[in-house]
């Protein structure tokens, strides 16, 4: 069976037809008066926009100079003494080894402090008026770990504190199954520069005194990493508030050493003869009823054959797909109770000529969810 036909049967190319059908027929569970739902793509566009508008201040003043740490790669140059020029990596114990000077402690110093230290050492021993420059060629000691439901989880290096929106933008936005919370776990020794913090505290769009839930890791939400030392804390932030311009205080500062986790949520899929086929994010990873799922999909179309609807259950395989038959007509009439859908379940409502379609869908439950990879995921 051609893949385009399969996608059509799943409702991924039906929105126009569904809208045309709705123009002349009443549709059960219509939600025309409710606010429009946003998709993950809408959220990511908002993240990109806010990242441009709410960047952390560019702190390049002496009091906010970069602080050197282990694994950083330094380029050290001495004017009029090219034989002393070196490109060295800071060791795990925070030192570098330089010609004539031996082992030098660098971790914890700013680049300007290290320049002054090296100049003083050379002045006392070998040179009358040394001119030293220190350039951080590669940062390795200022990581922020971003994981969970983001497009590109990983470890990102930041020179100084950045806003949460900027960090999410660096991770290329949210994955389709992103839940409604973002968790920032503070490093016990956050390198928060006082001058930088004062800049944020006086800027109404970048304040950090967010009234979010703050807890120690042992008391935080499930799935948080274990704290490595006392003094760590986690901040739980509502994703919708973060992306709402009327709640700018949610855009907290993230410092080197922090962890950022976007919680995952379950998705239920409603495909076939509904007005708005696609995936619907479960706010708290709880189950919803078939009637609720139909309502989220804005009702069935006039061509729906509710008595042959099916639920394809999560966890089914191509060899033994798990499914249950339901009579949607009786459920909507209140004659039988509505079953519940769990994350990754697929509710399929065929049309009046749906026998062949059902045969295709029976072949692989996993294939259904795979084919739905291009479906819109709605947040409600």
95-135: pLDDT as tens digits: 999 888 899 999 889 899 999 999 999 998 888 889 999 99
pLDDT at 323: 86
pLDDT of residue 318: 53
For 376, phi then psi, to 5°, come to: -70, 140
Helix (H, G, I), strand (E, B) or coil at 194: helix
Q: Which of 13-17, 267-271, 317-321 is predicted least confidently? A: 13-17
Q: Return the percentage of the chain with pLDDT > 90, whole number.
A: 30
CA 283 to each of CA 165, 330, 373, 379: distance values in angstroms, whole numbers, following the listed order? 21, 28, 20, 8
More confident residue, 356 or 153: 153
pLDDT of 90 over the 80 cut? yes
> What does the pLDDT look like over 11-42, one tens digit per residue?
443 332 233 333 333 334 433 434 456 788 88
Strands across the sheet containing 233-238? 154-157, 143-148, 259-264, 178-186, 233-238, 213-215
Residue 52 in this model has a pLDDT that exceeds 80: yes
Give the chain's domains with CATH numbers. 3-30+266-379 (3.10.560.10), 67-138 (3.30.1950.10), 141-264 (3.10.560.10)
Mean pLDDT score of the chain = 74
pLDDT tens digits, 177-235: 898 899 999 876 554 444 344 434 333 333 333 444 444 344 333 333 433 333 468 89
pLDDT of the residue at 379: 76
Q: How far apart are CA 221 and CA 180, in angstroms?
A: 13
Q: What is the DSSP letter of 182?
A: E
User: Do residues 262 and 148 lie in contact, with contact meaning Cβ atoms separated by under 8 Å?
Assistant: yes
Residue 161: predicted pLDDT = 85
Cα–Cα distance, 238 to 212 (Å, whole number): 8
Model pLDDT, residue 1 = 33
pTM: 0.64
Question: Reduced to 3 states, what is the DSSP secondary structure of residue 280?
Answer: strand
């Amino acid at each position: 069976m051609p893949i385009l036909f399969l996608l059509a049967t799943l409702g991924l190319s039906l929105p126009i037809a569904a809208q045309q059908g709705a123009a002349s027929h009443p549709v059960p569970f219509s939600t025309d008066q409710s606010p429009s739902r946003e998709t993950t793509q809408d959220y990511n566009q908002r993240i990109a926009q806010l990242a441009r508008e709410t960047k952390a201040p560019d702190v390049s003043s002496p009091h906010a100079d970069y602080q050197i740490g282990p694994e950083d790669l330094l380029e050290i140059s001495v004017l009029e003494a090219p034989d002393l020029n070196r490109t060295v990596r800071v060791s795990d114990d925070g030192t570098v080894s330089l010609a004539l000077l031996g082992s030098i402690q660098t971790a914890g110093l700013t680049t300007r402090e290290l320049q002054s230290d090296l100049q003083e050492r050379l002045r006392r021993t070998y040179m009358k008026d040394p001119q030293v420059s220190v350039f951080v060629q590669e940062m390795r000691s200022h990581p922020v770990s971003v994981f969970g439901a983001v497009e590109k989880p990983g470890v990102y290096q930041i020179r100084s504190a950045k806003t949460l929106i900027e960090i999410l933008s660096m991770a290329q936005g949210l994955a389709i199954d992103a839940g409604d919370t973002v968790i920032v776990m503070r490093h016990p020794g956050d390198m928060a520069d006082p001058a930088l913090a004062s800049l944020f505290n006086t800027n109404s769009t970048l304040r950090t005194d967010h009234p979010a839930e703050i807890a120690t890791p042992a008391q935080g939400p499930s799935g948080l990493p274990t704290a490595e030392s006392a003094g760590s804390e986690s901040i739980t932030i509502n994703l919708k508030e973060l992306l709402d311009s009327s709640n700018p205080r949610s855009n907290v500062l993230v410092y080197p050493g922090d962890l950022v986790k976007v919680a995952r949520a379950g998705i239920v899929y409603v495909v076939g003869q509904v007005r708005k086929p696609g995936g619907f994010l479960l706010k708290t990873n709880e189950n919803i009823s078939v009637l609720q799922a139909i309502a989220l999909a804005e009702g069935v179309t006039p061509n729906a054959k509710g008595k042959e609807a099916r639920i394809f259950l999560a966890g089914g395989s191509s060899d033994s797909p798990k499914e249950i038959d339901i009579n949607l007509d009786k459920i909507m009439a209140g004659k039988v109770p509505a079953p519940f859908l769990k994350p990754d379940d697929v509710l399929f409502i065929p049309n009046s000529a749906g026998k062949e379609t059902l045969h295709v869908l029976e072949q692989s439950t996993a294939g259904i969810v795979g084919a739905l990879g291009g479906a819109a995921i709605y947040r409600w």
